[in-house]
Amino acid sequence: MKKQSGLRGVNLGGWLVLEKWMTPQVFDGFNARNEWELTQSKRGRDSIKKHQKMFIYESDFKWLRDNEVELIRIPFGYWVFGDEPPYVKCVDRLDWAVKMAKKYNLRVLLDMHAAVGAQNRADHSGSGSSSITISWLGNRDNQNKTISVLERIADRYKNEPHIWGIQLLNEPDSDKYGFRLISFYRRAYRRVIKKARPGTRIVFSDAFMPWLLTGALWKRSHYPVIMDVHIYFCFGVRKHLHYKQQIARLNKWRLRLRFFSFFQPVMIGEWSGVLHKEGFEKQHEFAKIQQNMFDKLGYTHCYWSYKTSSTSGWNYRKLVEKGFND
């Protein structure tokens, strides 16, 4: 089947929002588990600044263009503008990435990956499990501060036509029935579209509860709504299943994605070929099967991640260099 309207993308993960497992060298010599802990010393902040400048280069954008990548999803934290010390400002690097994407004809999805108060207990919320309290979902003030950052992002890049979309929040924890999270999405949508360029896609996470969250935002013609689904087979109670069983799980996702698409367009904002019980070659094969499926179904999808410090299945560039797209 010919590739349809979806875009093939990657995440620039582990860059402007740190995850220790992705780039452990940034944490070398520090007793820190996440970005918040690393920022507690000047030496730690200097390590972050060095990483921001040296992890992604212009040559990476050229490589992405030359290897048929069309969209980059760029995670950023609420501290992006530098007014949340001791977090390290990174808006200058984000500006640069937007400029490079334009130069190399790449579309950009700006992804609020870490919210004020931490929207989950993962390292990619900036503070993660070391937080004393995860207060985002139950704290309207933190939610409003999160929306304010989104407004500033939308306003800053409103004149850049290659900004494909803005993601309201990555993988938030949700209340049992999703009511408080949906309320946040709707408030954020109303405020962000006042700043964003018409045509900008507003993306919301399914919070790993797609059956409850689908339809959380109604379709809009001037500011299209997209639900972001993350599909991983290396986590959870079924990560130990054998290869053929994982293929069967993937085929079930084909049906689910079609169902959710009746309510709004769907994208796969994160996925990978990583499998708990299989070696690199099987992961390579599994990643290709997924990519072909998403392409044929016409879904925009972004591999997690473009690159890491290791050459594991999480490293899209290494997959391609070993023949992934042949």
pLDDT tens-digit map of 298-322: 999 999 999 999 888 999 999 999 8
% the chain with pLDDT above 70: 96
Kindly report the backbone phi and psi dihedral angles of residue 302, in degrees, each rounded to the nearest multiple of 5, phi listed first. -130, 115
DSSP 3-state of 26: helix
b/e sequence 7-39, b meaning 16+ C-beta within 10 Å:
bbbbbbbbbbbbbbebbeebbeeeebebbbbbb
The predicted structure's pLDDT at residue 126: 78
The tens digit of pLDDT for each residue in 63-75 reads: 999 999 999 999 9
Q: Whole-prediction pTM value?
A: 0.95
Distance from C-alpha of 315 to C-alpha of 287, rounded to nearest angstrom: 11
Delimit the domains of the chain by residue range: 8-136+225-321
Interval 136-148 mean pLDDT? 94
Note whether 264 and 203 are within 8 A (CB).
no
How is domain 8-136+225-321 classified at the CATH fold level? TIM Barrel (3.20.20)
pLDDT category, 2, cuts 50, 70, 90? very low
127 has a pLDDT exceeding 90: no
* pLDDT category of residue 41 using cuts at 50, 70 and 90: very high
Q: What is the pLDDT of residue 326?
A: 66
pLDDT for 87 equals 96
Q: Decide if pLDDT at 121 tops 90.
A: no
Closest by CA position to 74, among listed 104, 102, 94: 94
DSSP3 helix / strand / coil % (the chain, rounded to 5) = 40, 15, 50
**Which has the closest alpha carbon to 302: 30, 27, 75?**
75
- Sequence-distant (6+) residues with CB within 8 A of 54 are none
The pLDDT confidence band at residue 190, using thresholds 50, 70 and 90, is very high
Token pair of 207 as six digits: 């919070």
User: How far is residue 178's CA from residue 174's CA, in Å, rounded to a whole number?
Assistant: 6
Calculate Rg over the CA atoms of the chain. 19
Give the pLDDT band of residue 134 (cuts 50, 70, 90): low
Per-residue pLDDT at 323: 84
d(CA 204, CA 188): 10
Q: How many CA atoms lie within 13 A of 162 on its CB side?
A: 17
Tell me, what's the pLDDT at 133?
Answer: 47
Span 168-192, mean pLDDT?
95
